[in-house]
Amino acid sequence: MKLTAVKTQLSNQIARQTICNVAERNHASAKAFTFKSSRRLLDNPTLEDGNYSANYTDDSSPLSASFSSAWDKIPARNKLVAACCSAFVLSNMDKVNMTVAVIPIAHELGWSSTVTGLVQSSFFWGFLLAQIPGGYLSSSLGGRTTLPPAVALWSTTTALLPLTAGSLPALCLLRSVMGSGEAIAPSAVVDMLARTIPKESRAGAVSTAFSGLHIGTILGLIASPAIISVYGWRTLFLAFGAVGIAWYFGFQALMDDIKRQEPELLDLLEAPKTSSTPSAVSSNQPLVSLQGSPHKTGKGMSVTKVKSGLGSLHVPYRAMLRSQPVRVLMFTHFAHNWLNYTMLAWLPTYFTDTLSVDLLHASQTALLPPLASIVTATLAGRTADYLISSAGVPVSVVRKAAQSTAFLVPAALLTFLCLHGEAEDTPLVDTLTDVTSSLSTVVTASAGNTLNSLPSLDITGLMSDEATLTVTCVTLALGVSSFSLAGLYCTHQDLSPKYASAMLGVTNTAASLPGAFGVAMVGFLLDHTDRCWEVSLLAPAAVVLSVSALVYAAFGSNDAVDYDTQDDSPFPWEKKLLQIKDAVGNVAGSFANFRKD
């Protein structure tokens, strides 16, 4: 009996094990069938079973997974720099569209050169007035907070511009509002770069971000005449404004992606800075020290969660204005923008007059300077970073060498163009004409690789001897001026990473004067000098650049300054203004009391 019971128990165990094995095999088969069926339905999404139509998506498809993997491998800092670059692309697209569109607009509405210059300069009225407020907002709230609404503001006003074209005051007012939006962008970008990019990589990041200005000029000069010729100038502003609104939503999506990929970088962008001197200089550490109760994040960073907002940061503007390096930087920035703003505003018209070409070919020729600027900006940034980080050259020497190159070479080229009209038959001019003819071949060949895919684009056909000389000198002058990206545009962050954006607002206020008054002055001089471009455009730029190069080299500095410890007391003239204000208030009070009596 015992033996029979044992056999029965053993048989039951074998049966149970067999049932379990069969069940496992059936479950595995079902999973395999489900997977194969899913793949079959993915490959044939219209496959129908009776009345059921299947349409599946597979988020783990090889293409999607490959793209996601490649995107995640891009460092968050690089994505941030690319976003800053794209904002500057839109900024200059919306600037340069008017320089092209103003020609058919002026013809349609009967504007003189003076009115044309006034319309173009009105952009810089708002640009000038919003510099210091924009710098303060970027320092207080952070560039990550101020950049998106700034882009949305100038894009919206760009789209609305055709509605006000018939009224000169309304048009100037709208372009002034547009300029106030664009005024915030440089301070916001500098703030973000100062927070996240170490000194040894700063010039490269700055040159990459600000090269978006040149890319925007190129895209604007390519797209503007094409859109105008097919759809008219009104459609041009509507299209460019829509692109900016799309950027706004794309930037918000990018911030969400950075938060997922590298949240410590987003913390750096959103937390206020509380030290003027960087506490870390490696690429794995932040450039700003933060105050409060820190928490550890990846890559050795210590980031503080601090509430930020208006009034959370005192900006020592008086201390900056008392600082000689800042005053020198203001004049240097003024000189840089004199060349770029006056040239940007008048270059298509200048080429139309001097080369005797139509609007399309003038715009195509105006592509060459920004193309050269992209090349020189990249060269300047990488060279400066190498000299500082690898060769051990002092920062001040590198910055001054870059800035001297950016000013003296363009000044020499513009001076030559001014003298060329009076000395066309001299051996020197003949020699320089031969040299520039050879250089233009290289420039147009390199540009042709980029532009040949575009329809109806013929630059080399413009290159007669006179055209070759003019185009090459202007191209080289504006191209070499991009060495400023390794000079003055890095100096704000060198002097004070904490207040870099506010300081840029100060220097950019002075640098907006060429746009507000210089652009209009060129139009005024053209009307009163029988359209003499040498006197109106070229000679003033050459003089300003030469003087500023000497001032920056002799008195400029890149040594870090703690402006929190500097004298920030009111200026004597402020006290006098307060006395006048009190006196006026007393007089008004006495007059009010007299009327009551």
- Reported as a single tens digit per residue, the pLDDT across 509-521 is 899 899 888 888 9
What is the pLDDT averaged over residues 271-298? 41
The pLDDT of residue 203 is 80
Which of 292, 297, 254, 255 has its CA nearest to residue 271?
Answer: 292
Of 14-23, 273-282, 314-323, the range with the highest mean pLDDT is: 314-323
What count of other Cβ atoms lies within 10 Å of the Cβ of residue 584?
A: 10
Q: Which helix (H) or strand (E) holds 581?
A: helix 572-596
Residue 365 CA to residue 351 CA, distance in Å, equals 8
Q: Residue 89: inside a domain, yes or no?
A: yes
Q: What is the pLDDT of residues 145-178, one digit of tens each?
A: 999 999 999 999 999 999 998 899 999 999 999 9
Q: Residue 572: inside a domain, yes or no?
A: no
Q: Residue 301: inside a domain, yes or no?
A: no
Amino acid at 326: V
Residue 334 CA to residue 337 CA, distance in Å, equals 5
Q: Residue 55: inside a domain, yes or no?
A: no
Q: Residue 268: inside a domain, yes or no?
A: yes
CATH number of the domain where residue 116 is located? 1.20.1250.20
Continuous H helices in 197-232: 202-231
Q: Residue 62: inside a domain, yes or no?
A: no
Decide if 174 contacts 161 (C-beta within 8 A): yes
Task: Annotate 393-441 with DSSP letters as a single string.
Answer: --HHHHHHHHHHHHHHHHHHHHHHHHHHTT-TTSHHHHHHHHHHHHHHH
* pLDDT tier for residue 113 given thresholds of 50, 70 and 90: confident
pLDDT value at 441 more than 80: no
Q: What is the pLDDT of residues 447-458, one digit of tens each?
A: 444 434 444 444
pTM (2 d.p.):
0.65
First to last CA, the chain: 131
Structural domain of residue 241, as residue ranges? 78-286+308-561
Q: Residue 584: inside a domain, yes or no?
A: no
pLDDT value at 273 more than 70: no
Residue 368 CA to residue 479 CA, distance in Å, equals 9
CA quadruple 320, 321, 323, 327: dihedral sign: positive
Range with lowest mean pLDDT among 182-196, 290-304, 386-400, 531-545:
290-304
Residue 123 CA to residue 174 CA, distance in Å, equals 8
CA quadruple 487, 488, 489, 492: dihedral sign: positive
Q: Distance of CA 330 to CAs 128, 130, 146, 395, Å? A: 13, 16, 23, 19
Amino acid at 224: S
Q: Residue 275: inside a domain, yes or no?
A: yes
The pLDDT of residue 11 is 54
User: What is the CA angle 410-416-417, rounded to 5?
Assistant: 90
pLDDT value at 292 more than 50: no
What is the pLDDT averaged over residues 431-436? 44
- Number of domains within the chain: 1
Which of 338, 455, 340 has its CA nearest to residue 88?
Answer: 340
Q: What is the pLDDT of residues 326-347, one digit of tens each?
A: 999 999 999 999 999 898 788 8
Decide if 523 contacts 117 (C-beta within 8 A): yes
